[in-house]
Amino acid sequence: MDPTLGRYPTSRMRRTRSTDNIRRLVAETRLGPQDFIWPLFIKDGEALREPVASMPGVERLSVDQVADEARRAEDLGIPAIALFPMTDPAKKDATGSEALNPDNLVCRATRAVRDACPEMVILCDAALDPYTDHGHDGVLREGKILNDETVELLKRQAVLQAEAGCDTISPSDMMDGRIGAIRAALDAAGHQEVRIISYAAKYASAFYGPFREAVGSAAALVGDKRTYQMDPANTDEALREVAKDLDEGADMVMVKPGMPYLDIVRRVKDAFGAPTYAYHVSGEYAMLMGAIENGWLDRERTILETLLCFKRAGADGVLTYFAREAAEILTRR
């Protein structure tokens, strides 16, 4: 840009900032309910709404309540929800076999939401950590996560979720080759129209703690996940991961976590131009809510500014626990 263009006083940058209407007219980035994917936690029971202590305002819901929340989301213009189960510890084992139960929490919730909201986009994670007694995303043997054995289970899990009515499988496990394997399994089972949104760049982050509490995997986790989730030091590696997943058949890609990784979102969007999403994860939500509830940050402005940053960085949408509240704020405005 020529630095001599628009010299003061002929050019005054504040002219286009002077009123709300003119600011809206010249805004480069726009945020709306259509940009949100709302994560919901599920727990066995009826008429159940159980607060998650580390995530103020977030609850574990019984299946009937999840269906009700999906209707509310649809009324607000939110196009998608993501379902995460808190599995009864008695149903967990070393291989996460409950993930292959056609009547597990996710499958029941998927059917309920599909009945309540036929057009709602439903994301279901392909991962074993909510179902394993060791808290890892894959099969654990002698202290190691077995890649190929895990992928075989993920294929079956993804087909089961599709049969329950899930239209968008979201593999979050970070096993090598799982996208191609899941795509082939879905196609072979007649689910060619079921989409895959891959957690293509998922980092071994410290920001997942509240989520693990919410799904009940925190206490069970043995060791950490750094042998399969990405090193926070790396950016070029993220591009390689995204390239591989797109080549294997991913329709959309996800960067996780969100705000500390906006540089990754930007690089991914610029490099590939594919539908790119970011997960505004539980630790980020908990930090903001802590400051908001202490009166240190303005609630509405903080929520909207945070989510707008994702769009400005290049994300096509955001998976966020603020989805419903943000949609309500935007609707009022």
Q: Over the stretch 91-145, which tens digit does the pLDDT of each residue have?
A: 999 999 999 999 999 999 999 999 999 999 999 999 999 999 999 999 999 999 9
Residues 43, 22: contact at Cβ < 8 Å?
no
Burial of 295 (0-12, 13-18, 19+ CB in 10 A): exposed
Picking from 1-5, 71-75, 207-211, 259-263, which range would have the lowest pLDDT averaged per residue? 1-5
C-alpha to C-alpha distance for 63 and 66, rounded to whole angstroms: 5
CA distance from start to end of the chain? 35
pTM, rounded to two decimals? 0.95
> Average pLDDT for residues 38-49, to the nearest whole number?
97
Condensed to tens digits (0 to 9), the pLDDT of residues 177-217 reads 999 999 999 999 999 999 999 999 999 999 999 999 999 88
Homologous superfamily in CATH for domain 30-332: Aldolase class I (3.20.20.70)
Handedness of CA 126, 132, 137, 141 (dihedral sign): negative
Q: Which residues are catalytic?
A: 202, 256
> Average pLDDT for residues 308-314, to the nearest whole number?
98
Confidence of residue 223 (pLDDT cuts 50, 70, 90): confident
Domain positions in the chain = 30-332
CA distances from 217 to 33, 89, 96, 291 (A): 30, 9, 12, 26
Condensed to tens digits (0 to 9), the pLDDT of residues 226-266 reads 999 999 999 999 999 999 999 999 999 999 999 999 999 99
- Peptide bond before 257: cis, by omega within 30 degrees of 0? yes
Query: Can you spell out the DSSP letters for 177-198?
Result: THHHHHHHHHHHTT-TT-EEEE
> Average pLDDT for residues 168-184, to the nearest whole number?
98
Tell how far CA 134 is from the center of its chain.
22
C-alpha to C-alpha distance for 321 and 17, rounded to whole angstroms: 31
The pLDDT score that the predictor gives to residue 324 is 98
Query: Can you spell out the DSSP letters for 118-152?
Result: TT-EEEEEE-STTTBTT--SSEEETTEEEHHHHHH
The pLDDT score that the predictor gives to residue 169 is 98
Residues 80, 323: contact at Cβ < 8 Å?
no
Which residue has 């057009």 as its token pair? 119
User: Tell me, what DSSP letter sits at residue 211?
Assistant: H
Taking each helix axis from N to C end, the angle separating 105-116 and 147-164, rounded to the nearest 10 degrees, works out to 30
The pLDDT score that the predictor gives to residue 220 is 77
Condensed to tens digits (0 to 9), the pLDDT of residues 28-42 reads 999 999 999 999 999
The pLDDT score that the predictor gives to residue 3 is 60
Instruction: Evaluate if residue 1 carries a pLDDT over 70.
Output: no
Residues 162, 196: contact at Cβ < 8 Å?
no
Helix boundaries (H) for 33-82: 63-75
Collapsed DSSP state (helix, strand, coil) of residue 307: helix
- Peptide bond before 9: cis, by omega within 30 degrees of 0? yes
